[in-house]
Amino acid sequence: MIDGFAFPPALFLIFTGLACLVLPAMLRPFAVLGAPVVTLAAVWSFAAQMAVAPEDAPFSGEVYAASLDYLGLTLYPVRVDPLSLVFATVFAIMAFAGGLYALRLEDRRELALLQVYAGAAIGAVLAGDLLTLFVFWELMAIASVLIIWAGGPDARGAGLRYAGVHFLGGACLMAGAAGYVATTGEAAFGPLPQEGVIGGLALIGILINAAAWPLNAWLADAYPRASWAGTVFLSAFTTKTAIYALIRGFPGDEWLIWIGIATIAYGCLYALVETDLRRLLCFAIVAQGGFMMVGVGIGTPMALNGAAGHAFVSILYSATLFMAAGALLRGHGTAQISAFSEGARHMPQTALLAGVAALSLAALPGTGAYISKSLISSGAGKADAELAYLLLSAAAAGVVLHAGRFVWVGFLARGSAPSTKPIEEPGPEQRLAMLVPLALVLVLAVVPGSFYAFLPEAMDAYTPYKADTLLLQLQLLVFGVLALYYAVRLIPDAPRALIDTDWLYRRLGRALLGTLGHGWLAAYAQAAEKSLAAVQRLLVELYRIHGPNSTLASTRQTGYVALWMTALLSVLVLSSVL
């Protein structure tokens, strides 16, 4: 149904975030944990009012939307339909779990920013029109930059680069959106043109946020610079909001299949050689985003469900992984794997949770990722995308390698320069925060039918637990681990800085700017020098003529001056008469 104005649920989180700046410490946990629950309740109360959209509405299928007329356009600040419901639900769950994990943050400003950031993401996925989407998109960018800067002085440059990249992406999205509104007169956010400048600009803007290769260097550059709590939030919202926008705006765009495959390959390779545990996880979420892009590119109901479902599940297990990495970071004071020393001995519960989350990352049958990823693979198989299916199978084996390496270097191995700092389990509420999303991932795997019914597209019945599918996945997993087992010692753990596509603007760009800058400065200095010399010559000449020692200023006899005056007056009289 299309309703009048309704209060956007995202504002509960945003206002709560702002309130955290002034609330006393004893009330902040209630606000941080209560706001996601209220937001989720509001979203589901709207979902309960979903009905088939009228024919003259810009939406189709079951939807609840609240409309608002602004600048001659009909805007929809709230639109709840099966797709936005999936993302808003998991974002609210993540805001709750992340908030629980972050309760020990001492900086109340960062705690406030985390709430605002989560609220902006929920606002973006509930936006029914491009203008509202853009507003929340940019709010998300601003909040995330501030969260990165809250990581400390080392995050300053990365935050600036992040801001530059994301504001460029926002500008592309806005340009595409403005073009779309201008040509169609319609602001509702639905499938966008897949060809031409308008669609291309919007797609680039979204792909930047989705961390698609080669536009993804910002992610591993910036996220690990944030605090132990900030990275947990950052890992969940920006890229998945972009995946939502791809499902909404570009379903079936075949380019996304190949961009997704390239993104998976890049993520798997970089994760395998990275020596910073949080950067390793950043590359892992880049690779997972690639799976979702492939699903969107295939575009069948099953593949789109796979993309949405995998976004839902990967947010949950990635949260647990980043929380575990945050616990190691807090304990050791660094995320460099060479400093780790058999974390499982000191924090066995965290190691167990991280191990199960890593198995989920590797899509072990019995975890949520298996039932979501198999939708994408089967979607590729049923859409006769043989090559995509083959590459997805290869990617599944590739993911096993870095999932296994995460557990190995994080919790089992002794680094080459182990830290002597004693480490211990994180607080009980932080372990609970790791358990909540992970438990959900495991529960979903037990009831795949219910999970599939929750996904946005109507599709044919699908059973993920078939003997041959299970066997193939297990073979990929076990033999992938076997390959890792013999090869892992080839890659030393000493800190290394990997060159990424950000080299183009961090090194080449700076060098070019420096060279061009020197040229411009030299030309400017030369021109300024010449101008100054000309002005000086003019002043000298004027001084020579009019100065105290000049001809005009010299002392003359009165008669000599009178003679000159008479001559000049004669000339004047003669010229007047003639």
Partner 1 sequence: MSQPSLTDLALRYGIRVLPVVASLLIMAEFLIKKKPYAGLAGIPLFGVWFALGVGLVTVGLAFALRQALSKPGAPSDD
Closest residue by Cα to residue 151 from 182, 113, 116, 177: 113
Site string for partner 1, 381-420 (x = CB under 8 A): -----x--xx--xx--xx-xx------x--xxxx------
Q: Which of 107, 154, 529, 541 binds partner 1 (CB under 8 A)?
A: 154
Among positions 320, 336, 377, 430, the unique one binding partner 1 when judged by CB under 8 A? 336
Could you say which DSSP state residue 55 is in? T
Nearest approach, Cβ of 482 to partner 1 (angstroms)?
Answer: 6
Chain length of the chain: 578
Phi, psi for residue 62 in degrees, rounded to 5: -80, 130
Nearer to partner 1, 56 or 384 (CB): 384
Q: Does 476 bind partner 1 (CB under 8 A)?
A: yes
- Candidates 491, 504, 521, 539; binder of partner 1 (CB under 8 A) is 491
Q: How far is the CB of 459 from partner 1 (least distance, A)?
A: 21
**CB nearer to partner 1: pick between 246 and 280:** 280
Q: Tokens for 507? A: 């090194």
Least distance to partner 1, CB of residue 497, Å: 4
- Min. distance of Cβ 431 from partner 1 in angstroms? 20
Minimum CB–partner distance for residue 451 and partner 1 (Å): 25
Residue 502 gets which letter from DSSP? T
> Considering the complex, what minimum distance in angstroms separates the CB of residue 286 from partner 1?
15
Site for partner 1 in 217-276 (CB under 8 A): 221, 225, 268-270, 272-273, 275-276
Q: Does residue 58 belong to the site contacting partner 1 (CB under 8 A)?
A: no
Closest listed residue to residue 441, CA positions, set 375, 364, 327, 380: 364
Q: Among 458, 494, 508, 540, which residue interacts with partner 1 (rule: CB under 8 A)?
A: 494
Q: Which of 232, 28, 30, 16 is nearest to 115 (CA)?
A: 16
* 8 A C-beta contact, residue 505 and residue 161: yes
Sheet strands (E) in 53-188: 62-70, 73-80
Find out whether 134 and 177 touch, Cβ atoms under 8 Å: yes
Binding mask 277-296 for partner 1 (x = CB under 8 A): --x-----------------
For partner 1, the closer of residues 75 and 335 by Cβ is 335
* Interstrand relation of 51-52 and 62-70 (parallel, antiparallel or unpaired): antiparallel
Tell me which stretch binds partner 1 (CB under 8 A): 148-156, 197-205, 295-303, 321-329. Answer: 148-156
442 burial type by CB count under 10 A (0-12 exposed, 13-18 middle, 19+ buried)? middle
Using CB under 8 A as the binding rule, whether residue 473 contacts partner 1 is answered as yes
Judged by beta carbon, residue 391 or residue 441, the one nearer partner 1 is: 391
DSSP alpha helices (H): ranges in 60-129? Answer: 82-101, 108-125
Rounded alpha-carbon distances, angstroms, from residue 552 to 540, 542, 544, 558, 571: 15, 11, 9, 14, 20
Q: Tokens for 290?
A: 């690639």
Does 442 engage in binding with partner 1 (CB under 8 A)?
no
Strand-strand pairing, 73-80 and 62-70: antiparallel
User: Nearest approach, Cβ of 470 to partner 1 (angstroms)?
Assistant: 9
498 binds partner 1 (CB under 8 A): yes
d(CA 38, CA 299): 34
Stated as kind and residue range, the H or E segment containing 3 is strand 2-3
Find the Cα–Cα–Cα–Cα dihedral 338, 342, 344, 347, rounded to 10°.
-80
Q: Does 352 bind partner 1 (CB under 8 A)?
A: no
Burial of 530 (0-12, 13-18, 19+ CB in 10 A): exposed
Rounded-to-integer distance, Cα 445 and Cα 538, Å: 87
CB of 79 to partner 1, least distance (A): 40
Q: Which of 25, 26, 461, 497 binds partner 1 (CB under 8 A)?
A: 497
Decide whether 155 or 311 has the Cβ nearer to partner 1. 155
Write down the least CB distance from residue 494 to partner 1, Å: 7
- Give the shortest CB-402-to-partner 1 separation in angstroms: 9
Q: How far is the CB of 153 from partner 1 (least distance, A)?
A: 8
Residues that bind partner 1 (CB under 8 A): 154-158, 221, 225, 268-270, 272-273, 275-276, 279, 336, 342, 344-345, 386, 389-390, 393-394, 397-398, 400-401, 408, 411-414, 467-468, 471-485, 487, 490-491, 494-499, 506
